[in-house]
Amino acid sequence: MNVGLLTGGGDCPGLNAVIRAVVRRISNAGGHCLGIIEGWRGLVRNLTTPLSVEQTDDIVGLGGTILGSSRTNPYKNPETDLIALRENFGALRLDALVVIGGDDTLGVAVRLYNDFQLPVVGIPKTIDNDLALADFSFGFDTAINVVTEAVDRLRTTALSHRRIMVVETMGRNAGWIACFAGMAVGADYILVPEVPIDLPHLVGVLTRRRAAGKKCGLVIVAEGAKFRLFRFLVRASRDLWAFLLGEGRFPRH
């Protein structure tokens, strides 16, 4: 059994750990792994490297991907790249191809299977944890730790200057990073895409906590968080700025 392995798209924590796991699994089953360099570009240009258990045993702690990556999409140049990819797939005598990537990379994998029945296995790469039927995606835990560390550093500035810090996290249309990181740092308020933003409630919470003696505030907002209505957004934004720039400013002592 000869199995190809490639990584595509943006880098993500845990990629090398996944590469190591795939190589060990294939090796234990009596097969061989062939690394495809720089994602789909490597399969188009026939750039490969052998992968063995010995070569991948110590890569767990390394960031990025030892195979390199690219955003090459062979379907953008089907007359050249797609033909070369199929020819190289056959020349390499691959029994299967394991593809580690996000929406774009796995989108190509799906089309290759649907169009040409190439034996492809996809491993989703997303720090956003936006996967059904899975508890956690690889890279998600690292993302939480990075946000937590960053917010812990901001907290001292917020406390020193009596400020409200608003921290935006990644996550696309899922609020997992904001939710978990917000709970970890003890944020005053967390905004996620799954729940429309209620700005009056947010302002009310911050106001009550200021009145109770808290000298700073932390708001964690996921990049995909949305307001219910644009008209409401305009009115509520005006109220929020009035709060932050006027009476809502924490007193200096």
Catalytic residues: 128
Determine whether 150 is exposed, middle or buried from the number of CB atoms within 10 Å of its CB (0-12, 13-18, 19+): middle
Can you tell me the distance from the alpha carbon of 218 to that of 223, in angstroms, rounded to the nearest whole number?
Answer: 16
**Residue 86 DSSP SS3:** helix
* Helical (H) or strand (E) element with 201: helix 199-211
Report the b/e string of 68-80 with b at 16+ CB within 10 A: bbbebbbeeeeee
Can you tell me the distance from the alpha carbon of 144 to that of 154, in angstroms, rounded to the nearest whole number?
Answer: 15
